[in-house]
């Protein structure tokens, strides 16, 4: 942790001579002093808390909480590879049990409904840990699984895991041949038609699918089938003259192809798939900085003959241990991913906007770390943009193959707020980032997260791909962040920026909100877009801004906060409907403040809610999931969101944004 000096100004405050830039804001209007004082106290506690959480190296990272399938699949991997150890098994099982709901199911997010696949995987993992299937918590879980269709109704990924232990027939799974790696990039369903997270997972799974391994299981799971004698029900009938019908026939053709595949071609495809996998292993041994591709890559390479002592395998296995969080000595949770770059840039923005001096040592240290993380070599994105010089940032500690547009924009916004002792170095880094982001703009004028024009609808229709979003189309939240970055760099009048602004205006929902791809949901989308539109020069009086303001005011909770449940992705009744959370209240306030609503009753109530719900240590409790990997299908609770977004909103209420006080780029 980074230590701070307690000077006369208080804990964590730099004792540098005040400048005009750092002078206190003018007195609040009559009648607002008490709210201003409340906001100042709330902000000060939160700033101290954030500063205390910074790592000595300069970064911040909160836990990234997902669901128990990560923990269950980690245990299944260790069983499959023969590397299980009792301490890990006991600790993971303890965590899995702690997440079981009162109805004996497991959900994929806090407060959500029971999920069939998650429940099956958690149940099987607990059986591996020795839990008795007759025990009440197990018997009731298996009964619920049977009532909801049994294993046959679970997702493909779950049934692949079961097939690897002989609990499901490989013949009853969709086929994905490794020869897909040879499809040219212009051909439908080539691997670059998939989003990068799906691509990294599917390539090793083609190896697993081709080799169909079976590691004999130590027990049967008949209790998870509706009819153990006939676990696979008849295939669902779909109209022949439909896309689903066409892809069902394609799957049958791929199953037939397996029987007649040219052996030399199959061997070559497996060899080239292994080469593709190994070339994308990061320096720390992981793949893409995320857990699922690492798990499947290790299985694929093991099946291709790589022993556990091979350097690639040893590094990969060691990387998995770094995804483990131990809340205590007896409990182990597996993160699907780690978010240090994202957390650090958001924390830096929050601290500057909250009034921390732009040259505070903690900020300079964060800037140094972020500058060192810029990626200056090509990755998978260059398949579509071979002439574009690199310059992005990734989300994780190690992920040079897959920088993303969103992190790159927010890191640039953070760096521009900090007075770094080497401003030319910062300018060069931001210049590379802006050039790379502009080069990754999709043809319609917006941005996806990782790739350009990754919009094919075919991958989502494959029977193999039922595990969530597998493409990376442009989204309003990412596009808003890029537009905000361009405005901060004085490029709001660039034709590419104006094209993105027009795209955002066209994407506004009828109710005035914007859809949130990477955060839940319309509150995130609106909180991302509205500040960008204002920064790009759209007046607060513009009809699109007024519609958004009206919508935000109309969905404020009675307690003064804002909340939205993940079910808003599948059910309109949940749009902006949910328990108030600190992160979502922060997003709503950021949008309202950008629109000039500082004096509004909605902002006053929102600031008051943040002050009233803050803990004494400056933290906010937030069990609800407000982030997404895939909307609805894969949900995330970023444990630092509950800090960085409220602090940003409070700071902007008190001071405006940090860019304004630093001086925007010319």
Give the residue numbers annotated as catalytic, written as ranges: 406
Q: Which of the 8 DSSP states describes residue 237?
A: P
C-beta of residue 254 within 8 angstroms of C-beta of residue 206: no
| Cα distance between residue 238 and residue 67, in whole Å | 32
Q: From the CB of residue 396, how many other CB atoms can be counted at a distance below 10 Å? A: 25
C-beta of residue 73 within 8 angstroms of C-beta of residue 121: yes
Pick from 445, 431, 450: nearest CA to 389: 431
HSE-CB of 543 using CA atoms within 13 angstroms: 6
- The SS3 assignment for 173 reads coil
- The SS3 assignment for 351 reads helix
| Chain Cα centroid distance, residue 403 | 13
| Cα distance between residue 158 and residue 533, in whole Å | 42
| Cα distance between residue 144 and residue 227, in whole Å | 14
Instruction: List for the chain the helix, strand, coil content (%; round to 5).
Output: 50, 5, 45
Q: What are the backbone angles phi and psi of residue 474, rounded to the nearest 5°?
A: -60, 150
Name 488's Cβ contacts closer than 8 Å, sequence gap at least 6. Answer: 412, 413, 416, 535, 659, 664, 665
Residue-level length of the chain: 666
- The SS3 assignment for 332 reads strand
Pick from 492, 6, 468: nearest CA to 195: 468
What are all long-range contacts of 591-594, with beta carbons under 8 Å and residues at least 24 apart?
591/526, 591/527, 591/529, 591/530, 591/531, 591/548, 591/549, 591/552, 592/549, 592/552, 592/553, 593/649, 593/652, 593/653, 594/530, 594/531, 594/533, 594/534, 594/535, 594/652
Helices marked H in 336-420 — which ranges? 340-353, 361-372, 405-417
Pick from 298, 286, 82: nearest CA to 204: 298
List the end-to-end C-alpha distance of the chain, in Å, as a whole number.
36
C-beta of residue 390 within 8 angstroms of C-beta of residue 80: no
| Cα distance between residue 58 and residue 51, in whole Å | 10
- List 337's β-bridge partners, or say none: 290
Q: Given CA atoms 254, 258, 261, 267 in this order, what sign does their dihedral have? A: positive
Q: Please state whether beta strands 634-638 and 64-65 pair in parallel, antiparallel, or not at all (unpaired).
A: antiparallel
What's the Cα-to-Cα distance from 30 to each of 433, 599, 602, 634, rounded to whole Å?
44, 12, 18, 47
Pick from 141, 128, 134: nearest CA to 100: 141
Structure tokens of 520? Answer: 């839940």
């Amino acid at each position: 942790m980074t230590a701070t000096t307690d000077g006369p100004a208080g804990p964590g405050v730099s004792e540098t001579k005040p400048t005009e830039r750092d002078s206190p804001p003018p007195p609040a209007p009559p009648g607002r002093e008490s709210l201003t004082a409340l906001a100042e106290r709330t902000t000060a506690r939160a700033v101290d808390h954030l500063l205390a959480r910074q790592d000595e190296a300069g970064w911040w990272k909160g836990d990234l909480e997902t669901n128990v399938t990560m923990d269950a699949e980690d245990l299944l991997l260790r069983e499959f590879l023969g590397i299980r150890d009792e301490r890990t098994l006991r600790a993971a099982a303890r965590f899995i049990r702690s997440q079981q709901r009162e109805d004996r199911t497991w959900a994929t997010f806090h407060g959500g409904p029971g999920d069939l696949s998650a429940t099956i995987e958690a149940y099987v993992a607990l059986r591996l840990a020795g839990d008795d299937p007759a025990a009440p918590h197990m018997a009731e879980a298996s009964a619920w699984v049977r009532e909801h269709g049994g294993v046959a109704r679970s997702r493909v990924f779950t049934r692949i895991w079961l097939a690897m232990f002989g609990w499901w027939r490989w013949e009853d799974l969709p086929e994905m041949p490794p020869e897909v790696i040879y499809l040219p990039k212009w051909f439908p369903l080539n691997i670059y038609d998939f989003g990068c997270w799906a691509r990294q997972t599917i390539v090793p799974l083609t190896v697993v699918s081709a080799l169909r391994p079976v590691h004999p299981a130590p027990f049967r799971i008949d209790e998870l089938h509706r009819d153990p004698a006939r676990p696979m029900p008849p295939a669902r009938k779909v109209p022949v003259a439909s896309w689903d019908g066409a892809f069902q026939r394609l799957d049958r053709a791929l199953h037939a192809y397996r029987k007649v595949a040219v052996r030399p071609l199959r061997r070559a495809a497996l060899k080239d798939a292994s080469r593709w996998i190994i070339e994308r292993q990061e320096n720390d041994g992981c793949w893409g900085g995320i857990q699922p591709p690492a798990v499947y890559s290790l299985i694929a390479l093991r099946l291709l003959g790589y022993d556990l002592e091979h350097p690639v395998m040893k590094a990969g296995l060691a990387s998995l241990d770094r995804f483990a969080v131990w809340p205590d000595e007896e409990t182990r949770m597996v993160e699907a991913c780690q978010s240090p770059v994202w957390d650090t840039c958001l924390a830096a923005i929050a601290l500057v906007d909250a009034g921390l001096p732009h040259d505070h040592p903690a900020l300079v240290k964060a800037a140094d770390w972020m500058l060192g993380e810029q990626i200056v070599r090509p990755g998978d994105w260059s398949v579509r943009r071979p002439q574009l010089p690199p310059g992005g940032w990734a989300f994780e500690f190690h992920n040079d193959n897959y920088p993303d547009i969103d992190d790159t924009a927010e890191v640039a916004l953070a760096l521009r707020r900090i007075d770094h002792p080497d401003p030319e170095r910062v300018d060069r880094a931001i210049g590379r980032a802006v050039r790379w982001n502009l080069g990754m703009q999709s043809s319609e004028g917006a941005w996806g997260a990782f790739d350009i024009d990754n919009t094919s609808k075919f991958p989502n229709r494959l029977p193999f791909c039922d595990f969530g979003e597998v493409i990376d189309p442009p989204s309003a939240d990412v596009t808003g962040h890029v537009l905000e970055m361009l405005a901060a760099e004085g490029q709001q009048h660039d034709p590419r920026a104006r094209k993105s602004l027009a795209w955002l205006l066209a994407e506004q929902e009828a109710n005035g909100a914007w859809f949130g791809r990477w955060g839940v949901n319309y509150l995130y989308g609106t909180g991302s877009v509205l500040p960008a539109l204002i920064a790009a020069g759209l007046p607060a009086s513009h009809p699109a801004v007024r519609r958004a303001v009206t919508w935000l005011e109309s969905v404020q909770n009675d307690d003064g906060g804002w909340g939205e449940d993940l079910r808003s992705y599948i059910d309109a009744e949940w749009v902006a409907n949910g328990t108030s959370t600190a992160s979502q209240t922060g997003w709503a306030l950021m949008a309202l403040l950008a629109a000039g609503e500082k004096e509004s009753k909605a902002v006053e109530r929102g600031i008051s809610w943040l002050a009233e719900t803050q803990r004494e240590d400056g933290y906010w409790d937030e069990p609800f999931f407000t982030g997404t990997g895939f909307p609805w299908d894969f949900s995330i609770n970023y444990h630092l969101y509950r800090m960085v977004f409220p602090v940003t909103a409070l700071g902007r209420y008190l001071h405006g944004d940090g860019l304004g006080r630093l001086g925007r780029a010319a």
